[in-house]
Structure 1
């Protein structure tokens, strides 16, 4: 991870918002001197202040080196910053860049160059037998996997083999070209000798935030492709160790999120939706380096007890609470199918 200096610049005032909704019963506890209005504020200005305060507090506690960009959408639909902390630092994106890979693949789908039901083969040599995902667990290989299935595995369980499957239909150089054409000059994968394979590459907090903000605004790919990405990232079966950790099932489904980790890096980026299924808050939070505690222990811990993940869990709860009484001015909403557990049959 590139060495970056800590700095923070936090937003000022914003307009008042429309009618409130009920506060969560499991809100992030107030610190000394804070009031319930501080925790679940009724104005955008106070929501921004709350988010900035919790970010400062949690990054100090966790230590490490952070870069982040967090914004909320005001009632007029304006994207206004709450956290801008070294957001232009170029970092190793890790699996957060799997969102960008999905955008590039779906861009090719939108242009009719490939199809979601097109098949790629799960051959033994394409399997990454370590790391994350479900394809490596099959034990026997030769399956014909649709592009849609590969993308779902890529985004939902961060499947590493799915990266290679996506490379079969969107080679590295083409992938980077698509992202550059959309304005993402730092959010790029790293090509290797095999044109269909690549490392996950770099990004910045600002570019990742922009990618997500433009995605939910419908400015990157088609409406169907946008819904595909957001439906997967919002699934309650997805990542829950960070931002979504201290939330109910219903609350988790209001959050589209993607995490990434390797060595000391612990990253996460996503979108929180309001009660009307409109995008309310976008976050890109990247961290690495020397966190609180033993470095070797931390580097081997990818679970919720890692200091950075504990920090993000408290940030996530606080961010959700901070916008719980507010309504997004976004023109777009993204509803998901209701979750109803079943016992087979």
Structure 2
């Protein structure tokens, strides 16, 4: 049986006030960002700008329009840690309606994780979890960070800590369609990249990155995060069999991902072969490269980060749906020339 998390009466009254007063948020500036995020906001000169509007953007509840948005989704992206404390990003699928928000403080996901999923046995009550709702077709996305409060096969309940919307920047429009639901997934595990994995990365125009703030932080601004990254096909550079270099483009100035890297380098990457339904999971350690001159050769990149790979998991025929590219993001200059740095592995 799944139970709803109790909240203080004052919190619910504040939520009612926020609904009645457009633009009002119940979250204070002191509980919006952890130290890693604040350091990067300060370093990049974005602190004053983000402070001017963050308390109107970040909430501790799911607004009604976001509740309806999640209800419309047939796929959902998730970030969390496994039982060994390793961070992974993954994708869940179901019929529209498999993600529900019965109240502004709760998200329920009615699906089971596949045995091939690195988080299949990890989502116990008390686990920090990040949710990214993304509709490729209209480039809409919303983020949630929360805590697992109930889990049983086929049903996951999450208590919300923070929510906010993201702009459509860098999202390539895709239309999803049914795949071969009868196909049986096959899994391969490695400690380094191998040719099929390099091929997926080298042609990818997007991926997902999960991170966690680690044990140094607590409160609503701590925990797991998952974010989308998009660019030209091949924008992620394969340095060698154990290292990737990733350009970082202008975002919302929250620095949720890089701020987590500042406190805890463990991270998980998810690459999807949208045409064939294959999934590539990577786990490793991330580090921001503040002064690398390579950034000057990559149009649009503001900085770089490096990802050292510990584990590679490739699952073929993992997704029961497929995605057809409709249009590249207008924010990605597809005419600029990017050098090809990817190395044969």
By the TM > 0.5 criterion, same fold? Answer: no
TM range (shorter): under 0.3
TM-score under structure 1 normalisation? Answer: 0.28
The structure with higher relative contact order (CA 8 Å, sep 6+) is 1
**Structure with the larger helix share:** 1
